Structure 1
Amino acid sequence: MKTAIKTLLSLLLSWQLMAQDHVFVETESFDDKGGWVIDQQSFVVIGSSYLMAHGMGRPVKDASTTVKFPKKGKYQVWVRTKDWAPFPKGPGKFQVVLDGKPVNTVFGESGSDAWKWYPGGEIDVKTDQVKLALHDLTGFNGRCDAILFTNAPKFTPPDKTEDLSAFRNKVLNLAGKTTEAGHFDLVVVGGGIAGTCAAISASRMGLKVALIQDRPVLGGNNSSEIRVHLMGDVDKNHYPKLGRIVREMDNGDPGNGNPDAKEYGDARKTSIVKAEKNITLYLNTHVYKAEKKGNAVVAVVGRDIATNQEVRFTGTYFSDCTGDGTLGHLVGADYRFGRESKAETGESLAAEKADDFTLGTSNLWASLERDTVSSFPETPWAIQFSDEYHIDDHKADWQWETGFGNLNTITDAEKIRDHNLRAIYGNWSYLKNNKKAKYAKRELAWVAYIGGKRESRRLMGDHILTQMDIQDGKQHPDGTVTATWTIDLHFPDPKNSKYFEGQEFFAGTKHIKVAPYTIPYRCLYSKNITNLFMAGRNISTTHVAFGSTRVMRTCGMMGEVVGFAAYMAKKYNTSPRGVYQDHLPEFMAIIKDEPAPAKP
C-alpha cells in the first residue's frame, strides 16, 4: 500500500514539474464541433466525454479549435483514440490537422478496441496559436478523446483511468475550480421522463429544485436522441391526479425510431421545465461524484460534458432518476443487478439460478425514400448478413437490442452501442447492395448513437415489488402509481441466436398481461440512504416485476409521487421513510387529490 502511495505521489510530482511542457486538449471542448458529436456514455469507464464522427457512412464536417502554446519549438503529438470495430481493422479513420496540414499518422485503424494514446509524430510550432482540427475520413464513428502536445523528453501519457484523470486535472488545472450551485430542497439527478416529472411535481409543491441532466435535451429514452415512444396508461389510474404532468410531457405517439426529430418534442419539454420558477435546470452535466454524512447524501458534483467545468449541488433530499442508479451507487445504496432465482423470490417467472442477465440496449434507426438512387459501401468490419439471414425492413423497432447478460449495460455501454452499430450498418449494406429493387432509392436518415437502455441497477427500498404483487393485485396501504404494462421480459430472438450465438442483437419477448395494479411508495426511496428517493427503471423491484414497471409513462408518474413525497418530507422535517411511517394518511390524501384528514 505504501509503495503504491509513493508511486502515485512520485507521478503527481513529475507531472507537476512537467506541466509547463504539456498542452492538453479535450476534444469535447473544441470551439467548433463541426459534424462531430459529444458522447459521454462511457464516462464511468474512461473518465471523460469524447468526440465521435457519426455520419452514417458519410464523412462529417471537421471539428476545430485554436490551441495556444506557451512557447515555440518542437512537440511530440499524442492522440487518445481506439479502433472501435477491429475486424480486423475498423472504419473509424480520421486525421489530426494542424494549420491545414495533417500529421502523418491516420488514426482509428490500429486493430485494437482499447482506448490508448497513439503517437502522431513531431511538429514544429512556430507561432503562439495553432488551428487544430479533426478530419473524418469515413463517417463511420471515428472517435477521439484527447490530444496532447508535449516537449517533455521521452514522455508517454498515462492510459490507466485513475492516472489519466490525475494527469488531466493537473495539466488542465482543474483542481479547486468547482462552482457552488447553492442549496436545494430537492436535487434530481437524471432528466428523463421520471426525473423531469419529479422536478416539476416538487417545484409545483413549492420546493426549490435542481434538475441535472447529462445530455443537451430532456426526456431520456423519449428524446430525439433515442426516440422511444411513451408506453403505459395514465387513464386507468386508481388516483387520477397522477399522470397530469406526464400528459404535459407527452408529445403524442410518433412510434419508435421516427426519422423526424421534432416528433419527440425536445423543445417543448425544455420550455415546460424552464417555465417553472422553482427549478434550476443544468443540462450537459454528468454527476460523477457524491458526498455523504452518515447515511445521508450531502452533495453531488457534476462535470459539464463539453467544458469539463464542475458544479457542486447541496441538498436536503435527492432523487436518483438516472436509470442506471448512478447516484445510489455513488453513495452506497443497496441495489441488485440481474436476475434473482426462483428460490429467492418465489416467482414462477424468475430464473432457475441468479445471474447477471439484464434486458439490453437499443439503438434505433430509420431510412427514407429519396428521389435518386444512392449507394452504401461494403462493410467488412460490420456484422455480415446473407440471403439466408438478414432483416428486411426500412427502419428499426424495439427488437434491435444488445446486452442480454453477456455484456454489462453500464461498464460495457460503448461496446454494446458499437455492436448495435455493426449490426445496423452491416444489415443496411446488405440491403443496399443485394436488394436494389426495394432499397436503391432509400438512404439512412437517422441512426441513434446514444444507447436506449432498459435495465441495469435496481435500488432497494423498504418494499421490493414482485411478480406476485403484480399478478395478485395486492392492495398496499401506500399503493400510489397505477401500472398497466405487461410483464415484458426480453430475450434473444431464437433465429438471431441461431446465426449469432453469444452476439445477438435482435430480441423477442412474451407479453404476460396484468390488471392495473399500484406500486407502493416504499419502492420509491432507498432502504439504507436516508434522504434518497428514486423514480424510473431503477426502483425497488425484482427483475421480473421490473419487466412491467419500466415503461416511461409509469416512470413519469413515479416522479410525480416523489415530488409530493419530497414536499411532505420537508414539511415535517422527516425522511422519505418518515413520510410512510408517520404521515401516510396526509400523503395519500395528496395522491388521491382529497383534503388532508383531520389530525387525531
Structure 2
Amino acid sequence: MKRILWMFGLLLAFTQVNLQAQDRVLVEAESFQNTGGWVIDQQSFDVLYSSYLMAHGMGRVVEDASTKVNFEKGGTYHMWVRTKDWAPYPTGPGAFKLSINGREIDQVFGQSGIIDWDWYYAGSVDMKKGENTLTAKDLSGFNGRFDAIYFSTSKEDKPINDNEKLLMLRKELLGLTDGPEEIGEFDLVVVGGGIAGTSAAISAARMGLKVALIQNRPVLGGNNSSEIRVHLMGRVDVNHYPKLGRIVRELDNGDPGNGNPDEKRYGDDRKEQIVKAEPNISLHLNTHVYEVEMDGNSIKAVIGRDIATNQEYRFEGTYFSDCTGDGTLGFLAGAEYRMGRESKEETGESLAADTADDFTLGTSNLWASLEKDYPSDFPETPWALQFSDEYHIDEHKADWQWETGFGNFNTIYEAEAIRDHNLRAIYGNWSYLKKEKAEKYKNNELAWVSYIGGKRESRRLMGDHVLTQMDIQDGVMYPDGSVTATWTIDLHFPDAKNSKYFEGEEFFAATKHIRVKPYTIPYRCLYSRNIDNLYMAGRNISTTHVAFGSTRVMRTCGMMGEAVGYAAYVANRNNASPREVYTRHLDEFMGIIESPLNIYTYPTLPNK
C-alpha cells in the first residue's frame, strides 16, 4: 500500500455527513479491552489490513473476551460480524457467540461452511446511548475467530468485503484519516524484531546511531521467541572475524531445542531487557509496517499500525533495514526480489531445480504435550486431517519436520491457510493418538501449540551480489566477505511417506544436509541493488534458493544484523549510501569488523 491510500481515505472521510458517521460504529476485534483467553493474530495483516481475535484453546474453551463501546446515539442498530469457517467439514469447529449488554445473540458464528472471510448479518440490536458491553464467547476452543463488528442504523448498509476498500472504511470509522502520529527521525529504522533485526538495532545503536526497532509482535526474537520456539542454529565461534557474533551471544538463551513447552527457556524478557538498556534504541512492539513513503529511489518514512489499538505511527529515517523475513519493507518500496526456485540453466547450480518454480521451504507450527498425574481425553476432530494405523506421527512433541508449504501455498499471502493446515494436522494426529493409543498417551495433554507460524522462506531481496551454491562450496573469499556462515545447504522437501498418504496436503518434511566449510557472505548481499538506502538482514538477503538453504539459520542471520549496524554507521559517518560503503569506504567497514579493539572504543560521532 502506498501513501496515497490514506490520502484517499482522508478525502473520503471529509465527504461523510457527521450524522451518518454517528450512525455507524466499527469495533475491531483486536481492540477488545479484555481479550480473555483469545489471542491477537496479525499474521495476515498484509492481506486483510487488520489483525483479528482467535480462540486458541487447543480443544479447551477459552475465557470470554469483552470490551466497552460508546454510542453517541442510542436506538436500534443492524449488526454484522466479519468472520469465517476456517475448517469446514461441512462446518468447522470455530464456533462462537456474541453478547450485547449481557444479552446473547441467537446466531452461532464461525460455522457457515464457507472458508472465506465475509460479513455475517446478526440481526437488529438495541444499543444504549453511551457505554455498551460486547462479549465474545468461545464454544469449542478450536480457533474460532472474528475480525470486526459493524453497527449501522440502515439494514442496507452491509460493509464492503474487499480488503483494500475495507481499509478505507476502517481508517474513516477509527478516526485515522488525519494521518499517523509522528514518532521522529532516525539514523536507522529497523523493521522486524527477530534475531537479525534485534542484532542490527543493537549494533547500530552501540555505534552511536539513533535507531528505531519496529516489531509486529509483543515479543522480540521472531522464530526464537516463546511464540514460535525454534532454537538458534549456525555457529559464531569459527568466525573469520570474531567480532561478529558478540551480540548474538548476548541474545542467545542456550539451546532449549525446538518446541520446548517451557516458554521461559526462549528468553523473551532477556532479549527485551538488552534492547531497552540501549539509550539509542526506540523500541516499538506490536507495530506492523504496511506503508512506505518514497523519495525517488529512497525510502523516506514507514507507516506502522499497532496490531491491537490500530493507532498508526510514522517513522522517518536516513537508512532502513528490512529484517522482516518476508522482505515486506523491500516489497513495499519496490525493491527487486525473487521468490521460489531458480533453474539450473539460470544459476549453474547442481542443486537447483531443473525448471524454475514457486516452490519454497515451508512454515512450521510446533507443539508439545506434557504428562500429567491424571488421565485426560481430547475431542473428536472430523474436520481435521484423518490418521490411521497405517500412517500417524507417534510423538509426544513436534520438531522441525512439522512443516507446510512446499509450493502448495504462498507463504506470505496464504499464511493463514498454512497455519490452519498445520493445526488440522496437529489436532487430527493428537486426536488419533489419544483414542487409538490411549494407554500410551492417556495422561498426556497438549501443553502448547504455536498459533504463530515459523516461516523459513519467502521473498529474497536482490543486492549487488547474489550468493550461489558455488560461492558456498568453493569458499570464495570476496573483498567484502563479512559474515561467516557454517550451516549445511539444508533444503526441505515433503517426506515421502507423508506425500503418499497426504498428497498435495503435506505437513511433514525431510531434508538432505549438504555439508560445507565455513564461508563468508559478501556485504553486497546485505543491501538492495535498486533502493538506495535499504539494507536487509536475515532470511531475506540476496541469495539463490539453494544458497538460502545455508544462510537462513538464526545465529548467521544475527551476525548479518550486526554487520548491517556497522555498515549503517560507516554510511552515516560519511554521508554515503549502502552501496558506497562498498565502492568508497570498504576499508573502513572491514576495519571495524577486523579490528581486535572493543567496539565501544571506536569513534561514534558522525563525520559528515
Same-fold call, TM cutoff 0.5: yes
Aligned equivalents of 2:166 and 2:329: distance in 1?
23
- How far 1:18 sits from its partner (Å)? 2.7
1:526 matched to which residue of 2?
528
2:476 matched to which residue of 1?
474
Which of residues 40, 44, 50 is equivalent to 2:42?
40
SS of structure 1 residue aligned to 2:538: coil
Once the two structures are superposed, the pairs formed by residues 289-368 of structure 1 within 5 Å of their partners are 289-368=291-370
1:199 aligns with 2:201: yes
SS of structure 1 residue aligned to 2:132: strand
SS of structure 1 residue aligned to 2:476: coil
* Matched-pair contact (CA < 8 Å) for 2:42–2:51: yes
Cα–Cα, structure 1 residues 9 and 584, in superposed 2: closer, same or farther, change >3 Å?
Answer: closer
2:5 matched to which residue of 1?
none
* Matched-pair contact (CA < 8 Å) for 1:374–1:443: yes
Question: Which one-letter code corresponds to 2:319 in the other structure?
Answer: Y
Aligned equivalents of 1:417 and 1:536: distance in 2?
22
- Provide, for residues 254-311 of structure 1, a one-character-per-residue CA deviation record: whole Å limited to 9, x for no partner: 0000000000000000000000010000000000000111111100000000000011
- How far 1:48 sits from its partner (Å)? 0.2
1:412 matched to which residue of 2?
414
2:605 matched to which residue of 1?
none
Which of residues 68, 85, 98 is equivalent to 1:83?
85
* Matched-pair contact (CA < 8 Å) for 2:197–2:561: yes
- How far 1:152 sits from its partner (Å)? 2.0
- How far 1:100 sits from its partner (Å)? 1.6
* Matched-pair contact (CA < 8 Å) for 1:55–1:140: yes
Aligned equivalents of 2:128 and 2:565: distance in 1?
58
Aligned equivalents of 2:128 and 2:352: distance in 1?
67
Aligned equivalents of 1:89 and 1:480: distance in 2?
54
Query: Aligned residue pairs: how many?
Result: 592
Aligned equivalents of 2:246 and 2:19: distance in 1?
59
Which of residues 164, 167, 171 is equivalent to 1:165?
167
Once the two structures are superposed, the pairs formed by residues 14-163 of structure 1 within 5 Å of their partners are 18-163=20-165
- How far 1:347 sits from its partner (Å)? 0.1
Aligned equivalents of 2:324 and 2:460: distance in 1?
11
- How far 1:385 sits from its partner (Å)? 0.4
- How far 1:14 sits from its partner (Å)? 6.4
* Matched-pair contact (CA < 8 Å) for 2:22–2:73: no
1:590 aligns with 2:592: yes
SS of structure 2 residue aligned to 1:229: coil
1:369 aligns with 2:384: no
Question: Which one-letter code corresponds to 1:200 in the other structure?
Answer: I
Aligned equivalents of 1:110 and 1:78: distance in 2?
14
Question: Which one-letter code corresponds to 2:434 in the other structure?
Answer: K
Aligned equivalents of 1:38 and 1:162: distance in 2?
21
| Structure 1 residues not aligned, in runs of 5+ | 1-5
Which of residues 389, 414, 429 is equivalent to 1:387?
389
Cα–Cα, structure 1 residues 215 and 577, in superposed 2: closer, same or farther, change >3 Å?
Answer: same
- How far 1:177 sits from its partner (Å)? 4.2
Aligned equivalents of 1:350 and 1:472: distance in 2?
16
- How far 1:67 sits from its partner (Å)? 1.2
Aligned equivalents of 1:33 and 1:92: distance in 2?
17
SS of structure 1 residue aligned to 2:400: coil
Aligned equivalents of 1:180 and 1:12: distance in 2?
22
| Structure 2 residues not aligned, in runs of 5+ | 1-7, 603-608
- How far 1:155 sits from its partner (Å)? 1.4
Detail structure 1 runs of 4+ shifted over 4 Å in the superposition.
8-17
Q: What is the TM-score of this pair, normalised by structure 1?
A: 0.97
Question: Which one-letter code corresponds to 2:359 in the other structure?
Answer: F
SS of structure 1 residue aligned to 2:247: helix
- How far 1:123 sits from its partner (Å)? 1.1
Aligned equivalents of 2:447 and 2:179: distance in 1?
41
SS of structure 2 residue aligned to 1:476: coil
- How far 1:126 sits from its partner (Å)? 4.1
2:606 matched to which residue of 1?
none
Aligned equivalents of 2:565 and 2:438: distance in 1?
53
* Matched-pair contact (CA < 8 Å) for 2:71–2:128: no
- Provide, for residues 212-253 of structure 1, a one-character-per-residue CA deviation record: whole Å limited to 9, x for no partner: 000000000000000000000000101111100000000000
Aligned equivalents of 2:182 and 2:408: distance in 1?
41
* Matched-pair contact (CA < 8 Å) for 2:243–2:596: no
Which of residues 442, 454, 457 is equivalent to 2:456?
454
Aligned equivalents of 2:15 and 2:198: distance in 1?
44
Question: Which one-letter code corresponds to 2:399 in the other structure?
Answer: D
1:224 matched to which residue of 2?
226
Aligned equivalents of 2:561 and 2:98: distance in 1?
45
Aligned equivalents of 2:165 and 2:531: distance in 1?
31
Which of residues 488, 503, 506 is equivalent to 1:504?
506
* Matched-pair contact (CA < 8 Å) for 1:16–1:170: no
* Matched-pair contact (CA < 8 Å) for 1:400–1:507: yes
* Matched-pair contact (CA < 8 Å) for 1:12–1:167: no
- How far 1:469 sits from its partner (Å)? 0.2
SS of structure 2 residue aligned to 1:405: coil
SS of structure 1 residue aligned to 2:584: helix
1:543 matched to which residue of 2?
545
Aligned equivalents of 1:391 and 1:12: distance in 2?
58
Cα–Cα, structure 1 residues 348 and 32, in superposed 2: closer, same or farther, change >3 Å?
Answer: same
Question: Which one-letter code corresponds to 1:101 in the other structure?
Answer: R
- How far 1:101 sits from its partner (Å)? 1.7
SS of structure 2 residue aligned to 1:122: strand
Aligned equivalents of 1:549 and 1:335: distance in 2?
17
Aligned equivalents of 2:429 and 2:408: distance in 1?
22
Aligned equivalents of 2:355 and 2:106: distance in 1?
54
Cα–Cα, structure 1 residues 153 and 95, in superposed 2: closer, same or farther, change >3 Å?
Answer: closer
Question: Which one-letter code corresponds to 1:132 in the other structure?
Answer: L
* Matched-pair contact (CA < 8 Å) for 1:349–1:544: yes
SS of structure 2 residue aligned to 1:394: coil
- How far 1:545 sits from its partner (Å)? 0.1
SS of structure 2 residue aligned to 1:431: helix
- Provide, for residues 489-524 of structure 1, a one-character-per-residue CA deviation record: whole Å limited to 9, x for no partner: 000000000001011000000000000000000000
Aligned equivalents of 1:318 and 1:69: distance in 2?
42
* Matched-pair contact (CA < 8 Å) for 1:24–1:171: yes
Question: Which one-letter code corresponds to 2:303 in the other structure?
Answer: V
* Matched-pair contact (CA < 8 Å) for 1:15–1:170: no
Aligned equivalents of 2:138 and 2:81: distance in 1?
14
Question: Which one-letter code corresponds to 1:159 in the other structure?
Answer: N
Aligned equivalents of 1:21 and 1:153: distance in 2?
12
- Provide, for residues 536-590 of structure 1, a one-character-per-residue CA deviation record: whole Å limited to 9, x for no partner: 0000000000000000000000000000000000111000110111111121111
- How far 1:128 sits from its partner (Å)? 2.7
Which of residues 230, 238, 241 is equivalent to 1:239?
241
2:486 matched to which residue of 1?
484
- Provide, for residues 309-363 of structure 1, a one-character-per-residue CA deviation record: whole Å limited to 9, x for no partner: 0110000000000000000000000000000000000000000000110000000
* Matched-pair contact (CA < 8 Å) for 2:101–2:133: yes
- How far 1:13 sits from its partner (Å)? 4.6
Cα–Cα, structure 1 residues 489 and 350, in superposed 2: closer, same or farther, change >3 Å?
Answer: same
- How far 1:437 sits from its partner (Å)? 0.8
- How far 1:150 sits from its partner (Å)? 1.2
- Provide, for residues 368-417 of structure 1, a one-character-per-residue CA deviation record: whole Å limited to 9, x for no partner: 00000000011000000011110000000000000111110000000000
SS of structure 2 residue aligned to 1:577: helix
Aligned equivalents of 1:228 and 1:581: distance in 2?
37
Question: Which one-letter code corresponds to 1:539 in the other structure?
Answer: I
Aligned equivalents of 1:261 and 1:527: distance in 2?
39
